[in-house]
């Protein structure tokens, strides 16, 4: 089953969010005790060991017994100053090889959620602050290992090497929930400034340009039928950033990322079948050197089967496919220019893994990947030659409170 999380929480804040919280907390002293009863504090910690036979993923995984450079630490806080107002914040400190800041604390999300209207059949609300983007099934809760079906999410859609581009945005979001006779319909749409960090800048160009997020939009419509037995969602967005080349010849343009994601899931008591398909349009325009401008549409999809057994165990089997350019699926056109190997433009990943919840607060997981291609391989960990075919083993221990 997927975990919906429009309102999961944390422990760090931007100036805007702090001001919003201060305003929301300006309530009469007589109500302070009731507000304290709604306070919830949670946290999580995950540590992984990654071993590869070729290439590196999240650190020097192909050397000296593997890499321990994949760690996630987070804490969250939520409370209700009024029945129709929720304050939720989450801070995270993360290490993911050379392509991520080394344990630098960051605000994962921090928002004020106000329910404008709520009845038996309908809920309408608004969120203000840093809001997690509703991409696919897993983006809003991707940092918490207990909400993921595997150690790594399908990399064709939930990129880790350019994680910041679609993760969250600072702005405003509206949501509506309609409770129908046989199911529930959800809608969410937002506008704001995306978080674009060093990971995206490194992946876009060898010159490591500077990206400055501009006003962007994101939306999702999701339907859950028969108590979540069937779930379908359509996500769409447009993230725009100013692109500045750091060179003697100052040059700038506009980078636009426009994804469309169709998500489907079927659930039974002991098993689930999940599939997601995405079209990813990426364009760069306005540069003085026209040869550096481009307009490319990529394609991604995966099919995933999960089986639950003995109450605390889950087994997963998944096939995940990424194509960077639908007009050059094999990568041969790019390879002919000498820019990169053909196999850098795609990745076909066959994954199997298990999870064991030995305690409600403790999760152990292991998984194996056989990969053809390096389309989602982390950039900073692989500065030399890479291999087309490679294998990866991951082991992870996770705690929560």
Angle at 139 between CA 125 and CA 264, to 5 degrees: 90
Angle at 195 between CA 144 and CA 50, to 5 degrees: 40
Pure H helices in 65-215: 164-167, 198-204
Rg (CA), the chain: 21
Please state, in angstroms and as integers, the Cα–Cα distance from residue 301 to each residue in 145, 169, 343, following that order: 22, 25, 17
Residue with tokens 């426009």: 258
Domain layout of the chain by residue ranges: 15-400
CA–CA dist 160, 57 (Å, integer): 10
Contact 329, 338 (CB under 8 A): no
Q: What architecture is the 15-400 domain classified under in CATH?
A: Beta Barrel (2.40)
3-state DSSP percent of the chain in helix, strand and coil, to 5: 15, 55, 30
Please state, in angstroms and as integers, the Cα–Cα distance from residue 307 to each residue in 101, 269, 274, 318, following that order: 35, 9, 12, 12
pLDDT < 70 stretches in the chain = 1-33, 99-101, 197-209, 246-250
Please state, in angstroms and as integers, the Cα–Cα distance from residue 26 to each residue in 16, 29, 31, following that order: 16, 9, 10
Contact 162, 353 (CB under 8 A): no
Provide the pLDDT for residue 205: 55
CA–CA dist 203, 223 (Å, integer): 34
Provide the pLDDT for residue 20: 44
Question: DSSP assignment, residue 167?
Answer: H
CA–CA dist 366, 368 (Å, integer): 7
Please state, in angstroms and as integers, the Cα–Cα distance from residue 252 to each residue in 114, 133, 216, 247, following that order: 39, 27, 19, 11
CA–CA dist 87, 186 (Å, integer): 21
CA–CA dist 188, 170 (Å, integer): 15
Chain centroid offset of residue 365 CA: 19
Count other C-beta atoms under 10 Å from residue 380's C-beta: 18
Provide the pLDDT for residue 104: 82
Question: The tokens of 56 are what?
Answer: 């590196």
14: left (phi over 0), alpha (psi -120 to 50) or beta: beta
> How would you classify the pairing of strands 271-285 and 294-309?
antiparallel
Question: The tokens of 259 are what?
Answer: 């994804």
Provide the pLDDT for residue 6: 33
């Amino acid at each position: 089953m997927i975990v919906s999380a429009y309102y999961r929480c944390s422990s760090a804040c931007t100036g805007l969010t702090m001001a919003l919280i201060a305003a929301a907390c300006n309530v009469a002293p007589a109500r302070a005790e009731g507000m304290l009863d709604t306070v919830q504090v949670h946290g999580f910690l995950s540590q992984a060991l990654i071993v590869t036979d070729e290439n590196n993923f999240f650190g020097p995984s192909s050397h000296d017994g593997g890499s321990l450079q994949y760690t996630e630490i987070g804490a969250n806080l939520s409370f209700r100053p009024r029945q129709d107002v929720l304050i939720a914040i989450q801070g995270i400190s993360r290490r993911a090889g050379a392509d991520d800041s080394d344990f630098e604390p960051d605000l994962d999300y921090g928002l004020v959620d106000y329910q404008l209207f709520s009845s038996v059949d309908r809920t309408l609300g608004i969120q203000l602050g840093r809001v997690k983007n509703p991409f696919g099934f897993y983006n809003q809760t991707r940092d918490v290992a207990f909400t993921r079906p595997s150690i790594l999410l399908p990399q064709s859609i939930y990129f880790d090497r350019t994680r910041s581009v679609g993760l969250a945005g600072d702005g405003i979001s509206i949501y509506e929930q309609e409770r129908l006779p046989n199911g529930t319909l959800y809608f969410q749409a937002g506008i704001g400034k995306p978080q674009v960090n060093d990971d995206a800048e490194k992946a876009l160009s060898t010159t490591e340009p500077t990206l400055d997020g501009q006003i962007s939009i994101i939306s999702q419509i999701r339907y859950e039928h028969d108590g979540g037995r069937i779930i379908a969602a359509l996500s769409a967005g447009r993230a725009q950033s100013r692109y500045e080349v750091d060179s003697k010849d100052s040059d700038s343009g506009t980078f636009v990322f426009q994804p469309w994601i169709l998500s489907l899931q079927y659930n039974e008591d002991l098993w689930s079948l999940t599939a997601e398909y995405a079209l990813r349009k990426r364009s760069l325009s306005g540069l003085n050197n026209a040869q550096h401008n481009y307009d490319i549409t990529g394609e991604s999809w995966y099919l995933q089967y999960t089986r639950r057994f003995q109450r605390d165990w889950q087994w997963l089997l998944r096939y995940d496919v990424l194509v960077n350019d639908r007009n050059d699926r094999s990568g041969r056109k790019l390879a002919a220019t000498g820019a990169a190997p053909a196999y850098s433009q795609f990745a076909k990943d066959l994954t199997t893994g298990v999870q064991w919840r030995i305690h409600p607060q403790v999760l152990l997981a292991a998984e194996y990947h056989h990969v053809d291609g390096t389309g989602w391989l982390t950039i900073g960990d692989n500065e030399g030659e890479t291999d087309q075919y490679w294998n990866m083993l991951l082991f992870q221990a996770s705690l929560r409170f």
